[in-house]
Amino acid sequence: MGTFLETHGSELNERQLAAVSQTEGPVLVLAGAGSGKTRVLTYRIAHLIYDHYIPLDAILAMTFSNKAAREMHERVKHLLGDEGPARLPWISTFHSVCARILRLHGGRLGYTSDFAIYDDADQKSLMKDCMEKAGISDKEIAVDTILHQIGEWKNKGKFFDEVESLTRSSFEETCAKLYKTYTEEMKKVQAMDFDDLLLNTYRLFKEHPDVKNFYQDQWRYILIDEFQDTNELQYNLLREMMNSHRNICVVGDDDQSIYGWRGAKIENILEFDKEFKGAKVVKLEQNYRSTGNILKAATAIISKNQMRHEKTLWTNASDGQKIRLASLEDDREEAHFIVGEMKRLMEQGVSASEIAVLYRVNSLSRGFEEECLRYRIPYQIIGGFRFYERKEIKDILSYLKILLNPSDIMAFRRTINTPLRGIGATSVEKLEGLANISQNPIGVWISQWDAIPITGKARDGISQYRDIMAWGLSEVESRDSLVDLLIDLLKKTKYVEVLEKLGTEESKERVQNIEELLSAVQQFEENFREPDVTEGSLLRRKLRAFLEQVSLMSDIDGLYETAEKVTMMSLHAAKGLEFKVCFLAGMEEGLFPSARSYDSYEKTEEERRLCYVGMTRAKEKLYLTRAERRRVFGSINFCVASRFLKDVPMSAVETVREPAESSGSDYAWRPRIQKSAAQSQFANDFDFDQRVQSDEDFSFRKGERVVHPSFGEGIVQKAEFLGADECLSIAFARRGLKKVLSKFVTKL
């Protein structure tokens, strides 16, 4: 019987074989998307065991997700076969490896082997206790913000006694003090959070050389997957684990480094061959996933980056179908187009599970969800909750529910202390009891209560909530616009203001979700038709119909639990996955690339890498879509095509949908400005449509006085076309600046 490589070497291409065979010294494997990196890692482990007789305990393989670790484990087990060893090498995530070490040696740091691992909720509860002891209110500084800052220090390998000298503001000084208190309290309760698992292992190796030497002697061969995702602490921890033989093999792709916002350092993979002199670099460039046209487009986009190792993906497969580009009039048309294409593909035999919709921000899922429900196409949301199940959306909807039905006790319980007002469970229970005695709906009772029967911190919070309820119940009866009510409700509750102060990536995304809710409400209101039940004010009727629509959508969601489903997810969540058909939606400046990347060259390059990751998820068909107008925070924005679209070569694409021209309308889309002959038709199609307009095109002009049936008198500030309709920006004396269709106003 031959060696492992003699038996299995033919299953590897030339580059893969080189990466597997080079077992000694540092090795950097640059594995392009779909190039077989997991195969290289698993074959390398089997080669070490069978051909070099390396003991199982001498091999350490680490990756970033339990899913990836399980896959590697199963593949190695399969390669070793039934005749192989009963157990396997250490194949696990960074955190699991560190937890295992700390269970064995944590006593050196004062921890028992039974220490608890705290999740996010546990962390927050403990930090609140620390803040209370320090006399710091979570109304002054949000718990999430403090934990985020401490997490940044930990991911840089900084202990609490090292950060005091690094503080640059009173906020950081406060965080440093709380970091110390938090660490001491965690020790008291014998617990560690996820960052502590890495930091305490690093500390263990630094402070106890005998433990470090034990593992250095044991681990003669170290393999790291997804190396581009390592942060500073993980990189330093690896250096502590490695012995003088430097038998370390790191596998990754700098073009797929997309987690800089959570501490990943792309420099770790870019400078590996400089840090480890004599390192062998192997490039895996043959792609086994995508067609030639998809790779051609993805390569054209990523090649614009400067911070990367030069490499070019190629395939033996055919060019396949061209990438399909669609420019739609607005976000509703974009969702309608994508779901229509899904339906057509499924009728042609494509499985729903082979179709994915990818987007830069989770809030974009709302339109696609509603279209899927309309056409009864089963779907699942990965990397996030369904839109109407997200916490911030349920919070805001609960406010609307209790304004519509003041007896809704569940809505009351969700809103009374949201955002935080210092109202505890005991106070809530007392309020509910008093409302029962009064025999009034709790929303009405609390809105009319003058002498609040609560003392202490909760009293002010209840007073604030009482004022919101009194205002809201009155407004529901006197207003007409549901959008205006929601905007003012957000101001009254300070819900968005609190999220913006947090300043975390999660809080920013939650604000975007609320903006998307406003867009949904605006869309609903534009298409509102009087329901069968017409009692109550116009706003009450709108509110009743909207909440019913949302509730029915939630009921339908449960119909497809056993069916194949279309997948919707953010581009970050899509990394490592593949689908036969992918739709990349929202390809617009400010959305993708994100506007938050504009102030940094490094962030812009990461956005480009994110685009590359998204495109290379597709095996056979790839769609790129954009909307010319998108509803944002209740208003309509005209959108500029993403710069990434301009990088895609003409030979790899076809335009399948442009904004429809209005036939027989007085106000059709105006012709595009002519560009030079040197510019491609593709660039024309996906440039921002600068329409030739003059005052003569509009029935209303800037400065004219008009009257609206609900908003009263106002002065026209701007006129523009919204599809076939004339849309006016009007400054109303009583209602401020609003956009309305011209057919709803009259000249004075």
Residues 502 and 618 in one domain: no
Residues 423 and 494 in one domain: yes
Quick check: is 311 in a domain? no
In 11-94, which ranges are E strands? 27-31, 59-63, 90-93
* Residue 615 CA: distances (Å) to CA of 16, 322, 345: 23, 13, 19
Tokens of 668: 């059709």
Residues 546 and 567 in one domain: no
Residues 160 and 204 in one domain: no
> Facing residues of 707 across strands?
713, 746
Count Cα atoms within 13 angstroms, Cβ side, for 203.
22
Residues 82 and 219 in one domain: yes
Query: Helix, strand, coil % (nearest 5) of the chain?
Result: 50, 15, 30
Quick check: is 314 in a domain? no
User: Quick one: pLDDT band at residue 75, thresholds 50, 70, 90?
Assistant: very high
- CATH code of 445's domain: 1.10.486.10
Place of tokens 């006694």: 161
Quick check: is 420 in a domain? yes
Residues 361 and 396 in one domain: no
Contacts of 127-135 with CB under 8 Å at 24 or more apart are: 127/178, 127/182, 129/185, 130/178, 130/181, 130/182, 130/185, 131/178, 133/181, 134/177, 134/178, 134/181
Residues 448 and 525 in one domain: yes
CA dist., res. 400 & res. 403, Å (int):
5
Quick check: is 667 in a domain? no
Residues 546 and 569 in one domain: no
> What's the mean pLDDT in 482-496?
93
User: Quick one: pLDDT band at residue 30, thresholds 50, 70, 90?
Assistant: very high
- CATH code of 710's domain: 2.40.10.170
Which of helix, strand or coil describes residue 719?
strand
- CATH code of 152's domain: 1.10.10
Residues 398 and 365 in one domain: no
Q: Residue 102's Cα: distance from chain center in Å? A: 32
User: Quick one: pLDDT band at residue 28, thresholds 50, 70, 90?
Assistant: very high
Quick check: is 62 in a domain? yes
In this predicted structure, what is the pLDDT of residue 284? Answer: 97
Catalytic residues: 37-38, 225-226, 256, 617
Quick check: is 56 in a domain? yes
Q: Residue 268's Cα: distance from chain center in Å? A: 24
Question: What average pLDDT does the chain have?
Answer: 86
> What's the mean pLDDT in 488-496?
94
Q: How far apart are the first and last CA of the chain?
A: 96
- CATH code of 370's domain: 3.40.50.300
Read off the pLDDT of residues 395-421 as tens digits, 9 standing for 90 and up: 999 999 899 888 888 889 999 999 999
* Residue 357 CA: distances (Å) to CA of 329, 339, 527, 565: 19, 10, 26, 11
β-strands 355-359, 579-584 pairing = parallel
Quick check: is 558 in a domain? no
555 pLDDT higher than 90: no
Residues 739/635, Cβ–Cβ less than 8 Å? yes
Give the domain range for residue 711. Answer: 695-747
Domain count, the chain: 5
Quick check: is 724 in a domain? yes
* Residue 361 CA: distances (Å) to CA of 101, 543, 590, 622: 37, 27, 11, 19
219 pLDDT higher than 90: yes
User: Quick one: pLDDT band at residue 592, thresholds 50, 70, 90?
Assistant: very high
Residues 429 and 367 in one domain: no
Residues 438 and 572 in one domain: no
In this predicted structure, what is the pLDDT of residue 681? Answer: 38
- Higher pLDDT among residues 340 and 116, named by residue: 340
Range with the poorest average pLDDT among 103-112, 137-146, 198-207, 619-628: 137-146
In this predicted structure, what is the pLDDT of residue 447? Answer: 92
Residues 408 and 264 in one domain: no
Name the pTM for this structure. Answer: 0.75
Read off the pLDDT of residues 332-391 as tens digits, 9 standing for 90 and up: 999 999 999 999 999 999 999 999 999 999 889 989 999 998 898 999 988 766 788 889
